[in-house]
Chains A and B, each alone.
Chain A
């Protein structure tokens, strides 16, 4: 009973259900979000349709060979790997760095109960994450294979068990590690290095997958699909052998109520329960010991000399500069903010390119090699090349959550911004400068990647950069305005301010909306047989006007919103 209560409280606080209910039904503040989320959900449908078609296609190839189950294995394996990779991050954050531990530990709860409640919250998060990977495959497979009651019941039971094994494995490792390695003083470095390692691992895997899939040549022919799924040396089979729960899950679902299905289901659930129990037992012994002192950070005591003090006391910056440097320091010293903001701007262009050049056959164009595609594009219409490069740079500059979390990141300290004698519009301008600089960093990195790896000419690149820099103003202002309209200030874990902040998603949707309008505008201009310079000139002028207007609107909104946020 106690365990259920703690789990329920954990879920409520993690998903903000009570707050959401209050804002939707009592304050009636967030009702405008409902149609927007509806539109977002509908806009995913075409993509989902594409995925289902691809699954159908692969199923069609594998079925005559009797290898269609490999499709299910792929889904389960991918899901469990996702959990294994990103679960590490969530587990460390939830078990050791979440602030509610200070409330939970003094309660009359056993360490195992505290850990189990944290585990449940992560597991439920994972159900949502892996839904996008597993559900299309399981549902399409079930329909095509005309799965009976056994298929669907087992599929539900397997889905429920999927995150348990990888999460329990990760938890066991993390609990043991935290107990025996003294990380308390270096928790920021731990989060940063761990996250970067995970990214490298994830993209390393992506490269290996790409190479393995592409061993038969860069095509998506039936033969290549069959080779990927069925060759005894294929990555799928090798990894499947290394991580058998995916195979058990496949057999349990495909087998239905047969002896094979039930035995594998029992195996999957049995191992899940065993590992979960092992985790709880280990937690009883090690969890709190690893926690001791973790919440404390110590600093050396050193008194500054009179001269040092005189040098370090600022002789007076302008208020706007002071706000800018505050933003800069807090962003770059908070690992979660740094990872999801500044580092995304730098890493994203490289990641895009790695994915494109190492994943032949992606995109289903049949062209395969992305580099070749870009090279072919370069000799085509220069408007297309420049706009494609500008789009790449804009996306790399604006997709990070810096602008769209700029007010939310202040959290419980927002009162300082409200009481200092600096006009809200000046504060917003300083914040804009910070967010825009991060966007510029992304544009520049994307430009370098474009020049070095994709061989885009300097002239084209310069024009594209000009467009991206202007678009960056627009997207930064829009992102900030969205966050200013509904800042998320009541967070205890900085992840909520940037990673789990709906404003970041809303800003991305707004950006996609703007880009869609630009796309159709350009299409119309090209259709109207306008010359290259004319098309680019019109796009540039339109972006300048929109950027100036959005920046002015942002400053006006700041004056209105700062005193109104209570």
Chain B
């Protein structure tokens, strides 16, 4: 579970408000899609949740652990995939996965099983002993995703996870999202791909200029927008963010 309560974050000494009084709960077993135009505050929110940024005010908790007060407990149950796969280029893929397994304390048997499974799915097995610097952008993205899946986290936070993936990998990843949440775990991700959000997410939040302008299931969003039935998420999004 992820809980944000009246969270605000500004840049440039308060001149630019990136997140403005955001309150949001992502429940266990839920795939939550976070939408918004460029610069709306999606990445800032995600970075606040994983502890890469500190909020100016408000409280964030992951699985009941306050991110500011109990950071290690919150981090132990969370994994994060950034929007750009900046990882250790001089390590091999396997060394990176071992590093992540070590710092999260993943037992060898689990480690071996998950690494084998995801390397096969993402077709990385033949290159896993090569340095990451020899990987393409998509391969780097896949190794970051494998690393994020390796600890079997309670909560996954992903920033644009589908960018750079080929259709097969994207399909497998979406199936994994479902499996992850069916096991009672939480998944929070941002995306610009409306169809993915519409089909995959249990609930969707739309952020605009740092404020949460809508949040709920597809049905609830349609009701909020007060527009005629049958409207797509894209139309709702455009309507809500055109202000």
Distance (whole angstroms) from the CB of A331 to the closest CB of chain B: 9
- Contact across chains for B108 and A329 when beta carbons are under 8 A apart: no
- Contact across chains for A415 and B91 when beta carbons are under 8 A apart: no
A379 at the interface (CB under 8 A from B): no
Known interface pairs A304-B128, A310-B112; A323-B88 also in contact (CB < 8 Å): no
Which of chain B's residues 103-144 have a Cβ closer than 8 Å to chain A?
A: 103-108, 111-112, 115-116, 125-131, 133-134
- Contact across chains for B133 and A329 when beta carbons are under 8 A apart: no
- Contact across chains for A418 and B105 when beta carbons are under 8 A apart: no
Distance (whole angstroms) from the CB of B51 to the closest CB of chain A: 6
Interface residues on A, range: 35 or more
A321 to B99, CA, bound (A): 10
| Contact code string B163-203 (vs A, CB < 8 Å = 1, else 0) | 00000000000000000000000000000000000000000
B98 at the interface (CB under 8 A from A): yes
- Contact across chains for A419 and B102 when beta carbons are under 8 A apart: no
- Report chain B residues within 8 Å CB of A27: 13
Distance (whole angstroms) from the CB of B14 to the closest CB of chain A: 13
- Contact across chains for B90 and A330 when beta carbons are under 8 A apart: yes
A186 at the interface (CB under 8 A from B): no
Q: Which residue of A lies closest to B101 (CB)?
A: A314
- Contact across chains for A334 and B90 when beta carbons are under 8 A apart: yes
| Contact code string A548-566 (vs B, CB < 8 Å = 1, else 0) | 0000000000000001101
Interface-facing stretch out of B29-37, B72-80, B217-225, B235-243: B72-80
Partner of B131, one of A297, A423, A566: A297
A98 to B240, CA, bound (A): 43
- Contact across chains for A419 and B111 when beta carbons are under 8 A apart: no
- Report chain A residues within 8 Å CB of B51: 418-419, 563
- Contact across chains for B101 and A416 when beta carbons are under 8 A apart: no
Distance (whole angstroms) from the CB of A486 to the closest CB of chain B: 18
A333 at the interface (CB under 8 A from B): yes
Distance (whole angstroms) from the CB of B125 to the closest CB of chain A: 5
A146 at the interface (CB under 8 A from B): no
| Contact code string A276-315 (vs B, CB < 8 Å = 1, else 0) | 0000000000000000000011111111100001101111
B71 at the interface (CB under 8 A from A): yes
A312 to B125, CA, bound (A): 13
A416 to B147, CA, bound (A): 11
Distance (whole angstroms) from the CB of B101 to the closest CB of chain A: 6
- Report chain B residues within 8 Å CB of A329: 90-91, 95
- Contact across chains for B108 and A313 when beta carbons are under 8 A apart: yes
A315 to B115, CA, bound (A): 13
| Contact code string B49-87 (vs A, CB < 8 Å = 1, else 0) | 011111000000000000010011101101110100011
Q: Which residue of A lies closest to B93 (CB)?
A: A299
- Contact across chains for B87 and A416 when beta carbons are under 8 A apart: yes
B214 at the interface (CB under 8 A from A): no
Q: Which residue of B lies closest to A566 (CB)?
A: B53
- Report chain A residues within 8 Å CB of B95: 329
Chain A-chain B contacts (Cβ-Cβ < 8 Å), number: 113
Known interface pairs A299-B127, A419-B52, A423-B72; A330-B88 also in contact (CB < 8 Å): yes
B94 at the interface (CB under 8 A from A): yes
A527 at the interface (CB under 8 A from B): no
- Report chain B residues within 8 Å CB of A153: none
- Report chain B residues within 8 Å CB of A415: 52, 82, 86
A330 to B79, CA, bound (A): 23
- Report chain B residues within 8 Å CB of A298: 134
- Contact across chains for B125 and A303 when beta carbons are under 8 A apart: yes
- Report chain A residues within 8 Å CB of B112: 309-310, 313
- Report chain A residues within 8 Å CB of B80: 419
A107 at the interface (CB under 8 A from B): no
- Contact across chains for B90 and A333 when beta carbons are under 8 A apart: yes
- Report chain A residues within 8 Å CB of B13: 27
Q: Which residue of A lies closest to B80 (CB)?
A: A419
- Report chain A residues within 8 Å CB of B94: 312-313
A529 at the interface (CB under 8 A from B): no
A456 to B194, CA, bound (A): 74
A394 to B71, CA, bound (A): 38
Q: Which residue of A lies closest to B79 (CB)?
A: A419
A300 to B129, CA, bound (A): 9
Distance (whole angstroms) from the CB of A299 to the closest CB of chain B: 3
Distance (whole angstroms) from the CB of A295 to the closest CB of chain B: 10
A413 at the interface (CB under 8 A from B): yes
A322 at the interface (CB under 8 A from B): yes
A213 to B86, CA, bound (A): 53
A326 at the interface (CB under 8 A from B): yes
Q: Which residue of B lies closest to A321 (CB)?
A: B102
- Contact across chains for B72 and A421 when beta carbons are under 8 A apart: yes
Distance (whole angstroms) from the CB of A405 to the closest CB of chain B: 15
Distance (whole angstroms) from the CB of B66 to the closest CB of chain A: 13
Distance (whole angstroms) from the CB of B50 to the closest CB of chain A: 5
A420 at the interface (CB under 8 A from B): yes
- Report chain A residues within 8 Å CB of B91: 326, 329-330
- Contact across chains for A319 and B130 when beta carbons are under 8 A apart: no
A46 at the interface (CB under 8 A from B): no
Known interface pairs A334-B90, A419-B51, A423-B72; A314-B108 also in contact (CB < 8 Å): yes
A422 to B51, CA, bound (A): 13
Q: Which residue of A lies closest to B157 (CB)?
A: A419
Distance (whole angstroms) from the CB of A296 to the closest CB of chain B: 8
Known interface pairs A298-B134, A330-B88; A316-B107 also in contact (CB < 8 Å): yes
Q: Which residue of A lies closest to B86 (CB)?
A: A412
- Contact across chains for A297 and B134 when beta carbons are under 8 A apart: yes
- Contact across chains for B86 and A420 when beta carbons are under 8 A apart: no
A316 to B102, CA, bound (A): 5
* 6 A-B pairs with C-beta separation under 8 A: A299-B130, A302-B126, A317-B102, A323-B103, A423-B72, A563-B54
Q: A309-B112, A564-B54 are in contact. List 16 more A-B contacts (CB 8 A).
A: A296-B134, A301-B126, A309-B116, A313-B97, A313-B101, A314-B98, A316-B106, A316-B108, A329-B91, A330-B88, A330-B90, A413-B86, A419-B52, A420-B100, A422-B103, A563-B68
- The 4 closest A-B CB pairs, nearest first, are A299-B130, A322-B102, A421-B75, A301-B126
